Amino acid sequence: MDAVKLSEQLVKRKEIQEGRKKLVLLVLDGVGDIRHPDNDYQTPLEAANCPNLDALASRSALGRIIPVDYGITPGSGPAHLGLFGYDPREVEIGRGVLEVVGMGMDLRPGDVAARANFCTVKNGVVVDRRAGRPETEVSAEKVKLLQGGIQRIEDVELVIGPSTGHRFGVIFRGPGLAEGVSDTDPHENGEPIHEAKAETPAAQKTADVVNEFVRRAQDVLQGGDPINAVMTRGIAAPPDVPSIPQRYGLRCGAIATYPMYRGLARLVGMELLETGQSAAEEFQTYLDNRDGYDYFFIHIKATDEAGEDGSHERKVAAIEAVDEKLPMIVESKPEVLVVTGDHSTPCSMKLHSWHPVPLLLHSPRCGADGLPHFSEGDCNCGSLGIFLAKDLLPLMLANAGLLDKYGA
């Protein structure tokens, strides 16, 4: 039994139902970084001028979170699962699920999702797995054609949505579906499209439906050049885990601009709030919806984009932009405010990384570490230590006074 499971047992559901306490998780995507000679041995958080974060830091508890485990670099899915109180070493999000969720498609419990490609087949073999890399607009037209031609297969409804280039997503919705189905994508040119095979008896119906979809798609696309067939891969069901509202009784609102993060939030039971592109607009959305929810996930994308591009300067600017508007949240006095990231994206690496992420937790019960900056170095010395992201949600609940005592 870990902190997460204990917290589910100890949570004060009645008090949560009263709705007086607001918990805010402000995620600066990829905010963590490392000191590097190219940037004068200063991380973006160290280089940024952040009077509001710094003022908050000295009255807060600091620490660092490890997204998944030591040395493990997470994708966005596992990284956010950890922040949301799931153990990403145990709960997996399949590729198909992440694809359709990232496209903003409405994936529901019981559904099965697939990534799909348009391709070119000649004489029974795939000659181009990407069908000449069509423009997204061309591909989107073909998706409409497919959806018009194939709405159901037996009692299974199909929802087909466009992605970029040759890619699209398919949701299969109906009774008796399960993951555990092999790819129809042969993964190299010169081979026929594979038959989807069920890896377990429970997945047989799904395999049959997928195979029928691939066959019918060839009929619908017949004569197309270069797009005349489809293949599927990464077939997966959404993770079979209770949502945050089910686990804790928290009404959760998600404020994020990118479909991927909105989709991840919806997978764990958050409601999606409409918002704008800037930090100020996202924070205003929080203020406007404060009464309707107990827990807010606010996602800022710009920090990660700058890190992936290797731009220390833009990452500093993205952090300063958040800092400037931070009083909008602080002055609303949420019971708990957490500022952190889902993972590090060091500018010198231009990639996600395993490095622990700076964490600031402010509440009436957090104490005051008295450390002057919200930075990697100060967070190393904070009272929260360096710990796994999955344990953040129990800490937030404790700091809100929403966990009962364990034992007598």
Q: How far is the CB of 84 from its own copies (least distance, A)?
A: 14
Nearer to its own copies, 174 or 180 (CB): 180
Nearer to its own copies, 32 or 226 (CB): 32
Nearer to its own copies, 95 or 129 (CB): 95
Nearby residues of 94 by Cβ (< 8 Å), 6 or more positions away:
113, 179, 234, 235, 236, 237
For tokens 């004569």, the residue is 223
Most distant CA pair in the chain, distance:
74
Q: How far is the CB of 28 from its own copies (least distance, A)?
A: 18
The DSSP code for 202 is: G
Q: How far is the CB of 393 from its own copies (least distance, A)?
A: 8
Q: How far is the CB of 122 from its own copies (least distance, A)?
A: 31
For tokens 């997503």, the residue is 169
> H or E stretch including 62?
strand 61-66
Q: What whole-number distance in Å separates Cα of residue 148 and Cα of residue 135?
A: 20
Q: How far is the CB of 225 from its own copies (least distance, A)?
A: 32
**CB neighbour burial string for 338-353, b if at least 16 within 10 angstroms, e if fewer:** bbbbbbbbbbbbeebb
Helices (H), 109-196: 136-149
Q: How far is the CB of 163 from its own copies (least distance, A)?
A: 13
Nearer to its own copies, 48 or 193 (CB): 48
Please compute Rg for the chain using Cα positions.
23
Q: How far is the CB of 222 from its own copies (least distance, A)?
A: 33
Q: What whole-number distance in Å separates Cα of residue 275 and Cα of residue 278?
A: 9
Nearer to its own copies, 322 or 398 (CB): 398
For tokens 């990660």, the residue is 304
Residue 397 φ then ψ, to 5°? -65, -40
Nearer to its own copies, 282 or 304 (CB): 304
Nearby residues of 50 by Cβ (< 8 Å), 6 or more positions away:
319, 320, 323, 373, 374
Q: How far is the CB of 70 from its own copies (least distance, A)?
A: 4
Nearer to its own copies, 88 or 269 (CB): 88
Nearer to its own copies, 107 or 217 (CB): 107
Q: What whole-number distance in Å separates Cα of residue 293 and Cα of residue 271?
A: 9
Nearer to its own copies, 2 or 313 (CB): 2
Tokens of 391: 């344990």
Q: Which parts of this chain interact with its own copies (CB under 8 A)?
A: 1-3, 6-7, 10, 33-36, 41, 43, 64, 68-78, 88-90, 92-93, 95, 98, 346, 348-349, 351-356, 365-370, 376-377, 380-387, 391-392, 394-399, 403-408
Nearer to its own copies, 85 or 174 (CB): 85
Integer CA distances (angstroms), 16 to 21, 195, 330, 360, in order: 7, 50, 21, 23
Helices (H), 150-258: 204-220, 244-248
Q: How far is the CB of 102 from its own copies (least distance, A)?
A: 9
Cβ(344)–Cβ(34) below 8 Å: yes
